[in-house]
Amino acid sequence: MECVTVAGLADSWEKGELLDRRELEDARTHALSCPACRSRFGSLLELASRDSVDSRDVGGAGGAGGERATSSPAAEVLADRVMARLGADAMPDRRIVRRFRPGLRVLSAAAAALVVIASVGILVGRGGVDTTVVRFSLEAPEASSVLLAGNFSGWTSDGLNLERTGNGLWEIEIRLKRGRTYTYNFLVDGQSWVVDPSAADRIEDDFGGESALLRL
Amino acid sequence: MPPPVPDETELSNIHRVLAGDASAFRSVVLKYGDRVLSFCRSRAASEEEAEDLAQETFLRAFRSLGSYRLGTSFAAWLFAIAANRVRTRWARLSFDKRKKDRLKIEAGAARANDPEDEALRNLQAEAIRSAAAGLPADLRSAVELYYFAELSVAECAAVLGVGEEAVKSRLFRARKKLRIALESSNPNGSEGV
């Protein structure tokens, strides 16, 4: 392979064109014996070699991984250590019930524009010695349903349907204990989780998203 | 295009774990172990730390398996956990410690006793990680998920909470920056073209 071909491959990779795996391998072999190409393109070819066209749904960048036929020794060691730490009797936490759907987008751009105002955690009255009634509300004029889920409900939204009150506002009042910290989100139309835009604070959840925080 | 859903074997393993057969989780770790390790290395200061992060990711995934929604991409769900573990750990470390540890890795790679090509590969891998670390945050995340974790574009989109076109756009911009960084990093020799 000529040096100019290696440079051409680098150009193609940068543009996001699909690379031929064999041609890429030839380029890497060439770079091993050509100091100039190794110097300039060695690392780039290493990165580009992670692409494979047959195992990705990529438009543009090729594909890197896909399924591995065998596990590496490092993965075997990792599996041994994870299983040792888990123990034979370990069980997944049954308290967690579909808190977040991975891949869920926090509203599409069109829908996001609808959620412009929200008020949360308004204390509307004392519900007892240790409890208080909290009103949760969200403005989502075009939504067909809005549910509330939080750690106070085990992150299930059963029974916590917000009601449309006019002007695109959805509301629900629930009784919560004082002196506690709550996390919650809204579920719009059964598919889009929305972090309350007016929440005083937010925390990261374990799924790459955020939850609104309410301290009473 | 939606993220790929687990195949029957993987689904079967997940069901077995949920039913109380913890041993079935080993297959899950074996299937994703290399990719999770590769992803964790992108932000870890050492190989030991990368393995710690990978272990934490799988332990957290095991405990939270009940929150995985069947019919969606398991990889996207798993790497969302990994991303959070990495982010949490990264935030805890001081800048000085990261820098010190990073220098230690580079020095170790440079004087590796491995055959020459393996040492070269280590240096190239370090150059790639350094180049990715120099990217703006949004581009870096896309590169780490796509190239290190080997997720599909759809899975990256799921983890990042953006559309597939946004992921492709980030990867396109990232490749331009990565090429400049990698061609100038020169861990492979002293000569230029």
Segments in chain B below pLDDT 50: 91, 94-96, 98-100, 102-114, 190-193
> B5 or A95: whose pLDDT is higher?
B5
pLDDT at B115: 55
Chain A (25-64) residues lying within 8 Å, Cβ to Cβ, of chain B? 31-32, 35-44, 46-47, 50, 56-61, 63-64
Q: Which residues of chain A have a CB within 8 Å of the CB of B14? A: none
DSSP A39-79: HHHHHHHHHHTT--TTS---SSS-------SS--HHHHHHH
Tell me what pLDDT residue B177 has: 92
CB A183 within 8 A of CB A211: yes
pLDDT at A123: 47
A111 vs B contacts (CB less than 8 Å) = none
Asked if pLDDT for residue A111 goes beyond 70, the answer is no
ipTM given for this complex: 0.72
Tell me, which fold does domain B8-185 have in CATH?
A: Rna Polymerase Sigma Factor; Chain: A (1.10.1740)
Q: Is A139 left (phi over 0), alpha (psi -120 to 50) or beta?
A: beta
Contact indicator for B145, B137 with CB cutoff of 8 Å? no
- What is the pTM (predicted TM-score) of this model? 0.58
Q: Out of B54, B84, B124, whose CB is closest to A208?
A: B84
Chain A residue numbers with beta carbons less than 8 Å from the beta carbon of B154 are 57
Query: Residue A160 has what pLDDT?
Result: 83
**Contact (CB, 8 A) for A77 and A164:** no
B2: nearest CA partner in chain A: A103
Q: Which residue is closest to A17 within chain B, CA to CA?
A: B172
Contact between B149 and B35 (Cβ < 8 Å): yes
Confidence of residue A108 (pLDDT cuts 50, 70, 90): very low
Domain map (residue ranges) of chain B: 8-185
Residue B142, token pair as written in the block: 């896309």
- How many angstroms separate the CA atoms of B50 and B54, rounded? 6
The DSSP 8-state label assigned to residue A161 in this structure reads: B
Closest CA to B1 of B111, B187, B140, B164: B164
On chain B, the residues whose CB falls within 8 A of the CB of A101 are: 69, 72
For A33, residues 6+ apart whose C-beta sits below 8 A from its C-beta are none
Banded model confidence at residue A122, pLDDT cuts 50, 70, 90: very low
Contact across the interface for A91 and B22, Cβ inside 8 Å:
yes
Query: Does A182 score more than 50 pLDDT?
Result: yes
Rounded Cα gap, residues A23 and A42, in angstroms:
15
With CA atoms as reference, report the closest residue to B102 among B50, B37, B25: B50
Q: How confident is the model at residue A150 (pLDDT cuts 50, 70, 90)?
A: confident
Q: Return the half-sphere exposure (C-beta side, CA atoms, 13 A cut-off) of residue B161.
A: 18
What is the full DSSP assignment across B144-172? IIIIIS---HHHHHHHHTS-HHHHHHHHH
The arithmetic mean of pLDDT across residues A1-9, rounded, is 85
